[in-house]
Structure 1
Amino acid sequence: MARRCGRATSWLTGQIKIHPGKIATSAVWLCFCLLFPPAAEAGLYSSSDQVILLTPDNVQSVLINSTAAIVAEFYASWCGHCVAFSPLYKSLARDIKEWKPAVDLAAVDCAAEVNSKVCTGFGITGYPTIKFFHAYSKADSKGQAVKGFPREVRGLRHMIIDILETHAEPWPPACPPLEPTSQAEIESFFETNNVEHLALIFEEAKSYIGREVTLDLLQFENVAVRRVLGTEEDLVTKLQVTEFPSCYLYYPGGNFTRLKVKIEARAFYTYALQRLPGVVRSGKPPPVIVEVQTNNTEDSWRPFNMSRVYMADLESTLHYSLRVELAAHTIIRGEALVSLKKYTSVLTKYFPGRPVVMNLLRSMNCWLQNQTGDEILYEALKKILDNSALSPNTALPEGVRWVGCQGSQPHLRRYPCGVWTLFHVLTVQAKNVGGTDPQEVLRAMRSYVRSFFGCRPCAGHFENMARESMNEVNTLSSAVLWLWSRHNRVNNRLAGDLSEDPNFPKIQWPSPEMCPACHTVKNNGDHRWHNEQVLPFLLSYFSSGSILTDYLEDESQVLAKQREKHERQQQAIEAQQHGERKAREALDSMRPPLPSHATEQEEEEEDEGEEEEAMVDEEEEGGEGVVAADEIGGKTSEPTPWAKPEMEVGRGRRRAQGRPSIVGMRMREPQEDIVDLDSFVNQHYKAKAMQLAASSRVKQRTLQRKEEQEPVPVFGLGMELDAGLGMVGLQPMEEDFELDVGLQRKRLQKRELAGRYFNEEAELSHRGRWMSMLSIGFSNVDISLCVILYLMSSMCLLAMFLFFKNRHKLRRPKVALP
């Protein structure tokens, strides 16, 4: 990168001398190149390629005094030959991944300025350069340069074996002997080695199969591999070997048996030996027989067919993806929202689910596609997933029920296995139903993994694979094969990892037992996938007709559980609202009176309001109240917005029922019904609280003339009947109604003004005074009924009097005159 930038800078400098007018453009372009270098200049390898990336910080620890031999490539990311060689080097890393205890691969980008001193220190002058560093190399070692290295994986593999065999002491501790063995060593082998299986590979002298298989089994225990040449006649005769190459299992006591494989080749030997009983990866627990445990809190083991796909795994994957993984994103916006729309669209098109599940997926997809904004809340999406609208025959079972993806431990397999299975099914369904876009499912998977998949390093590895070769997919068949091949690449990278289940080792799938026709070999003996046979196998294995419905919960049960859940949620909401309402009521009842200055202001407003009412009543009777109001300005107090409607209603009710205005008393307002509407709860309780606070005091009113010196109650009867008036609907007076002298003086002034209006019509005031006294606590209807009853009783008494008078006359004895 430094060299190319130097040339570019030199070229720009020359242009600047010739075209001074391009200074600004050239400077901007140079800054852009420095800030945003091309992707190729970031390096040709990543951590997902199983290649150690050398830097000035780790180069000494990796290459010097290492327990393993290191093959290192020195390259420049701008070099065309290096770019062409990088896929081959990556394939080599995957091919000899199991050799890591003895041999490992590394690479360093010499085009990066930070690595220039590293490459100079090892004497690198051209690219690409491969150097071999033996185990326990000295600090001054420059490595063994490999001249004319082959440009194929098989040749590179053999080159490494040849150099490794010339390794001087000390020998890499993890590497077994690669030289041919003898009969004497075989006969005494079990005396010095504690293994269960000894594999003898008979081959010709120029063959590399025995040494390759020996290195392939480095990471496995309870098995050892030895190479036997055909020139070892005694051992060949004893085991009756007739074919080269061939593999025999040798046991203590001289017992032996031939290892049965489809093709006598390295890949088939390696796979068969790794699956022998008791053979386990180093550091891994042996496979356990999982049995049904009814007393275990974890899910009991579900027996299943390893050669079939289960719908329970697919529905469990949907549940975890939509209800758990997406729930981590409270707000889904931008690119993540686009990814979610692609994901749901693909599910709606190609997921081979049950009707209730498909109805839910369609509902969710329709809702998402109609969202025109740049973001959505997950809570809104969750309502769709839970079918809050209770659409008929629409539900996604909650919870997980793993079958084919279950692991021997709760943290193994499960959801990652389900994700791979789901997308395999979708690519196959797109092929079977005749999709139009070859990359539709792959793009949806790529964007979902990039935006939502919880394992971020895993998402980065998948993105690297997709960026590398997904654009080469141009048919629906190639999409199926691309996803399958990348899944095998991930299996290769994770084989032996802590996430590997010992009961389900990560292999190159499908195995020779599952699909013998899928495996073949090249002319040089290397393994090759028979894609013409792999594609039909995948189309059949992941087709909708091959998916088993065992362990699925019945649709009626799913819908019933959904209804019960909604009922519980509704009850919980109602209980919460009821509790909040009760809490507000209790809070309002315990609220203390308002401060004195607020009470004073409200009392003044109320006094002015009652004066206005009195003037209105006078206007109705004589029309002179308006004139009096005009004379003093007609100023009234405006009620607060929330209290004004109640005041107006109170006035209307008072005029309609003809309630009298009693001195020192105020009629009790009728109780209001509580309206149980959430939208009016706050206004209602606020109005109630303010009304109770405003009416907490009962004020004494006296109407007096201006010349009177002391306020004397006009109606003594009204004051004497206070206790009795409380029985007919009046509010009792509180004990703390006394106000300060200043407040009383203000109120007396207002009452003097009010007294003027009554003096202008003395007769009307006198009559109103007596009528008020006679109709204390009674309405017009009550008085009318009393009069009617009085008249009826009088008529009844008169009738009875006349009746008995006539009877008395009839019974009076007649005196006969003589």
Structure 2
Amino acid sequence: MKRETNAVLLCSFLALVGCSSLSPDSLKFYHDITSGKGLYTNFNKIISLNQSSFKNQVFDNTSCWLVEFYNSWCGHCHRFAPVWKRLALDVYNWRSVIKIGAVDCSNQANIQLCRQYEVMYYPTVKYFPKLSPDKFLGSLVDERTINGLRHFIVSRLQERSDLPQLSHYKGTSEDIWSGIGENFIIAVIDNNSSFIGQELALDLVETKEVKVVVVEPSNADVVENLVVTSTPAIYLLEKHGNTQHVPIEQFTREDILSALDKLLKPKGLKMPKPIDYADIDDSVIDITQAISLLQIEDQVKKKLHSNQLSDTVFQVDIEGALLQSLYTEIPSKKHIEGEMFNALFNYIEIIHKFFPIGKNGIEFLSCIKQSLINKKNIDGADFYNLTDECQKMQKQVFLQSKERWLGCKGSKVTLRGYPCSLWTMFHTLTVQADLKNADDPKQVLSGMTGYIKYFFGCTECSKHFQEMATTMAGNVTSTESSILWLWKAHNSVNKRLSGDETEDPTHPKVQFPPQSICKNCTNEGIWNDTAVLEFLRKMYSKISFIVIEDILPKTSSSSTSVPFSKSLKHEVLVDEKDVSFKSLEKAGHNSLWDFNFFDISLCILLYFVSMAIILLVCFKFYKKTYRKKANYFDVFQKV
């Protein structure tokens, strides 16, 4: 029991120190790993496959597949993940003929699938051609670089009879338009060992009106007709029109597409957009932080089941408050102008500056703010549409969950919920402003006051808060005092509403924090502001990304995970040229050792016992092989 308690304390300490410093995007990513969602959950260019979806998708006979079988806890898989993401982006325009998938073998629901496809090490990459029988186990792929994998794909696709544009044209210049219905031909003259032409053909496989023809320099008729002076070279041919050389300095895919875009855009044709790798994170996952987060989330889940939630802040709650304000409360106003509009802008500004959210969320809030900067008024309906458009511009802004509240979930639908989450959100904003050394210590509280005055749906609550806000002037002089002022105001409200008919009987309103979660915060009934400030800073900066689906009984085969200690398997260590290894020893090796004092003591004991056994064996062997020095009297057996 003592050993388990120490382990919990250690894990809690690691989680507080290590995980609280992570960005919201990193916390979300680590949470996805620890909750069994895998390494590619939020990366839509890679199709996540599982036991139930694998055969239906991979053997649907419409395209080829390149699938990575990986383990979420495997260090080499972490280092390979940026390569796999880059590859998926690299060949995304080829998705009608090749799809990039991934299977998380650390998910318990996928263990049988990984066993069936004979996955012996991580990461394992397998190729599944089009029209493969459903019993085919896939061809092993040893390539581990982006260029190597892309060239492998091209080589395999060249074997398909339905993609003739990937083969070299053997005919004459006179017959080059034979059987081609498109109005433009892009002729690529290059040697047989190059992939420039084939990759361009795949980049433009979905571009109508354009056909790519790959020609070897040995095809004298075509080369002479186009007046090719050097290779590689690219020419644009128009049906019943001109033929022109496409000037390109560097024959990279980006430069080729850019040059073609300049020529074809005036003709009404669009080239694929340049590949943007900005969203791919090359940083190596720290297993220690992932394990720490796993342990602390286990403790949080236990508290959830026992109803002990008062010291945990959930991202889903504060996002729920933000969504309710942006999509319900603010749009409910018919027309917003004057002081009300100023209050709206100030609210959006503090949300944009201090709300803890990932990159997509920051872009979303920035979009709303920029849309309001040059306005003096706005209708509620227009604000709703503006907000909706800004959110649609981003991939995923908020956590995906069927429940908007978790820590603020009431025993009834009408209890807690939004008011609870709004308090939580504003407490979080005061702490975030303190952590970011905000210039104006009153900015968050002023923005909060304006929002509650003009937009909060409870009129009586709004009136009481505005009365309390009059004490702000002489009491808030720093970001620390801002945190404490809001804490005292919240306790004042709790005291006033304690026993009220609006109180949730399962969550009585008490003076916070109680001694059960902060022993040093009170001394004989008197608050210790210094201890309270430290507690609030920790509480509102240590945000959990757990959602209701993480604590419900698992019913979906795609959301079950196994413990880290049971997830390890053989790993392949490869030297990637296209991926940066950041401190392999520190991030990979050291973080995998999870020994406690007992384990280390046992190792030391076994070490000394083993050494003693080895010495005894050597001594016995030495005695048996020892020969006494020969003397002349030994010949006569003299005693």
- The answer to whether TM tops 0.5 is no
Q: What TM-score comes out, normalization by structure 2 length?
A: 0.41
Which has more helix, going by share of residues? Answer: 1
Q: What TM-score comes out, normalization by structure 1 length?
A: 0.32
Question: Does 1 or 2 have the higher relative contact order (CA < 8 Å, sep 6+)?
Answer: 2
Larger Rg: 1
